[in-house]
Amino acid sequence: MKIYTKIAQIERLLDLDCQQIYHAKLVEKVYSFKCTAYYLNLVKNSDFTDPIFSQIFPQRFELSCFGEEDPFKEEGSFEIPHVYKRYKNRILIVTTNLCFVHCRFCTRKRNWKGKVFFFSHIDELIELLRFHEEIEDVILSGGDPFCLPIDLLEEIISKLKSVKHIKVIRIGSRAPVVAPDSVDSKRLRILKKYAPLWLNTHFNHYIEITEESKRAILNLMKAGISINNQTVLLKGINDDYGVLRRLFVQLASIGVRPYYLFNCDPVKGVLHFRVGEDIGKLLIERLLDNLSPMYVPRFAVDTENGKKIVI
């Protein structure tokens, strides 16, 4: 799979102007650029009116000094490195800091810095879970778990499945959206062995629903995976009734349940994407007036004390 990791590699492909290149190269020194050739190909206009361009192209606002890198104090919330516990009955494992794409609005862009890691504490975690019977739900997150070596992904899932009180395993991955080729027969075979599993994916705009992403979704469903979608409400990208309506109807039509619309977190380097809570609420109210609630997501805001469901 072709992945671009430097602005210099895409300058000509996107026909960027000098100012765009200048700012993006400054930003990439702090928050690196990364994008699959597949996802880059969805860009129609090389400016911030384009919803794909805006999700992957570095903006100078990312260098703002406002906001915190870890506002919800995820780091250190559990005894094992790269495991977060913010709710009584569930934990989240940052399985790697690798992603196929660096989404500019990422909540965990702090993890892009530093050396690449793959989760190596599964035995320690399984041992510790014996003393945490309250934990029944594990989220494999990242980074993107689809970037893990396949044997490691299998090892993590199989060991978690062996713990009696773990009832739910969810994989959080943008793979069907940004790298549908990675949903390949090898991975599908492994996932099918451990079905039922849940996959929470992340479509933000209807333009991302392509023939390739639809095929990836269908193959995951055939492998016994139930799929939910978490959209992040992003200024200038999807903070619009028509865009969200079309996105949620199309997701429902391919068998994906719109699960959450998240307010963008107050993370350092992403504040320019944030939309007011009142706008998110109004958008959902209008969607509820016009669509079946079955495919209108809940609007949620992350807080230090957990998730607040606004509507």
Would you say 101 or 169 has its CB closer to ligand SF4?
A: 101
Q: Tell me whether residue 210 or residue 286 sits nearer to ligand SF4 (CB atom).
A: 210
Q: Which stretch binds ligand SF4 (CB under 6 A): 98-106, 127-135, 258-266, 285-293?
A: 98-106
Q: How far is CA 291 from the centre of its chain?
A: 25
With helix as H, strand as E and coil as C, how does 187-223 read?
A: HHHHHHHCCCEEEEECCCCHHHCCHHHHHHHHHHHHC
Q: Which of 35, 56, 83, 106 touches ligand SF4 by CB under 6 A?
A: 106
Task: Tell me if 103 contacts ligand SF4 by CB under 6 A.
Answer: yes
Under 8 Å between Cβ of 191 and 197: yes
**In degrees, to the nearest 5, what angle opens at C-alpha 190 toward C-alphas 41 and 111?**
55
3-class SS of residue 172: strand
Q: Which is nearer to ligand SF4, 37 or 128 (CB)?
A: 37
Distance, CA of 118 to CA of 187 (rounded, Å): 17
Binding mask 16-55 for ligand SF4 (x = CB under 6 A): ----------------------------------------
- Binding ligand SF4 (rule: CB under 6 A), the pick from 82, 108, 170, 205 is 108
Of the pair 56, 129, the CB lying nearest ligand SF4 is at: 56
Nearest distance from residue 192's CB to ligand SF4, in Å? 23
Which one-letter amino acid corresponds to residue 146? F
Which of 31, 54, 138, 142: binder of ligand SF4 (CB under 6 A)? Answer: 142
- Residue 145 DSSP symbol: G
Q: Is the CB of 143 or the CB of 176 nearer to ligand SF4?
A: 143
When the beta carbons of 20 and 111 are compared against ligand SF4, the nearer one is: 111
Among positions 169-188, residues that touch ligand SF4 (CB under 6 A) are 174
Give the Cα separation of 156 and 181 in Å (integer): 22
Least Å distance between CB 105 and ligand SF4? Answer: 7
What 3-state DSSP class applies to 1?
Answer: coil
Distance in Å, CB of 242 to ligand SF4, minimum: 24
- Which span sits near ligand SF4 by CB under 6 A: 97-105, 116-124, 246-254, 298-306? 97-105
Distance from chain centroid for Cα 249: 20
Nearest Cα residue to 198 out of 147, 160, 162, 238? 160
Which one of 24, 27, 93, 99 is in contact with ligand SF4 (CB under 6 A)? Answer: 99
Q: What is the 3-state secondary structure (H, E, C) of 40-86?
A: HCCCCCCCCCCHHHHHHCCCHHHHCCCCECCCCCCCCCCCCCCEEEE
How far apart are the C-alpha atoms of 107 and 246, rounded to whole Å? 25
Query: Which of 143, 145, 269, 280 is in the footprint of ligand SF4 by CB under 6 A?
Result: 143
Q: Smallest distance, Å, CB 18 to ligand SF4?
A: 27
Among 23, 82, 86, 102, binds ligand SF4 (CB under 6 A): 102
Which spans of this chain sit near ligand SF4 (rule: CB under 6 A)?
99, 101-103, 106, 108, 142-144, 174
